[in-house]
Amino acid sequence: MPDNKQRRVLLTGGNTGIGYFTALELVKQGDHVTLACRNLDKANAAAQKIAAEAPEGTVDTAHLDLADLGSVRDFAESAPDAVDVLINNAGVMMPAKRTETKDGFELQFGTNHLGHFALTGHLLPKLRAAGNATVVTVSSVAHKQAPKLNFDDLQATRGYQPQRMYANSKLANLLFALELQRRLDKAGIPITSNAAHPGISETALYTSPDGLGSSKIASIGASIGLKFISQSAKAGALPTLYALESGGPASYSGPKSLFESRGAPGPAKISAKAQDAALADQLWIASEKLTGVVYDFG
């Protein structure tokens, strides 16, 4: 990565896991990174650690709850007038029971996709103001396991299945990233949108009480299994950094070894569903209606 970028970077969920190590590396390169997190105490503690280890750049924090569209709007309004990089990193994974966001969306779809959809839309004028900005959205290898989105029941009000909804939300992340690039290109706006996935990495997603950690049995099982198949969160951050620096428009990056579960970053495989432009357009229209956020490409 080149030194002394000095970009304004907004990163969601950077207080732990791959987000933390993504932020650390960017600050080491001289960027200014804002950790946008729901828990400000944890964010501030992470920022202090980053600042002590990486004096080359700067870091601060801001409150952002992606499960609350009002919080998303308030954060976007408080952001700098020009944003060079937006990294849609935060997420929740597989709560045992169906849970809703403040706005009544299923928690995984509402947080992982709709929250980031609304955030990016609110920030679009500030991304445009920076000139040649980049938006990286973090998806997952789980996107390949997603069934075709059920637009009659996007919020899983009937027959909630944790793994299915997580996979759906990660498919939505990838559909969104690619569709955003199509719409930016059509409007002639010089912003890069791409996506990345961390492979199988040891992160707090597996123990968070808002997700998999809501089931003690599942959380313990995942923790044991991860010791054998996962890579570190620091390694899991590399595809996001690769996507930002080398991925290019509409690209998808991830680990290259062991079926994209670990290893050095590079181009990753996109499922046929994620490449479906008609499906992406349908999701975009539905997302605008659900969030009330309409992108201004004019």
Instruction: Tell me the pLDDT of the chain (298 aa) as tens digits.
Output: 555 579 999 999 999 999 999 999 999 999 999 999 999 999 999 999 999 999 999 999 999 999 999 999 999 999 999 999 999 999 999 999 999 999 999 999 999 999 999 999 999 999 999 999 999 999 999 999 998 899 999 999 999 999 999 999 999 999 999 999 999 999 999 999 999 999 996 766 545 455 454 444 444 444 444 444 567 999 999 999 999 999 999 999 999 977 678 699 999 999 999 999 999 999 999 999 999 999 999 9
Measured in Å, how far apart are the chain's first and last C-alpha atoms? 33
**Cα–Cα distance measured from residue 179 to residue 278, given in angstroms and rounded to the nearest whole number:** 10
Name the DSSP letter for residue 72.
H
62 to 205, 210, 224, 249: CA distances (angstroms): 21, 20, 34, 28
pTM of the model: 0.91
Other Cβ atoms within 10 Å of 42 Cβ, number: 17
Residue-level pLDDT at 111? 98
| Amino acid identity, position 283 | L
Q: State the catalytic residues.
A: 166
Residue-level pLDDT at 202? 74
**Cα–Cα distance measured from residue 223 to residue 271, given in angstroms and rounded to the nearest whole number:** 28
- Taking a C-beta distance cutoff of 8 angstroms, is the pair 108, 88 a contact? no
Three-state secondary structure call for residue 247: helix
Q: Identify any residues that bridge with 195 across adjacent strands, giving them in sequence order.
A: 137, 252
Residues 6 or more apart in contact with residue 21 via CB below 8 angstroms:
233, 234, 236, 237
Q: Identify any residues that bridge with 138 across adjacent strands, giving them in sequence order.
A: 196
**Cα–Cα distance measured from residue 278 to residue 276, given in angstroms and rounded to the nearest whole number:** 6
Residue-level pLDDT at 108? 98
- Taking a C-beta distance cutoff of 8 angstroms, is the pair 171, 274 a contact? yes
Hey, which bits of the chain come out as E strands? 8-12, 32-37, 58-63, 85-88, 134-138, 192-196, 252-257, 262-267
Residue-level pLDDT at 240? 98
Three-state secondary structure call for residue 39: coil
Name the DSSP letter for residue 1.
-
Residue-level pLDDT at 227? 45
Three-state secondary structure call for residue 68: coil
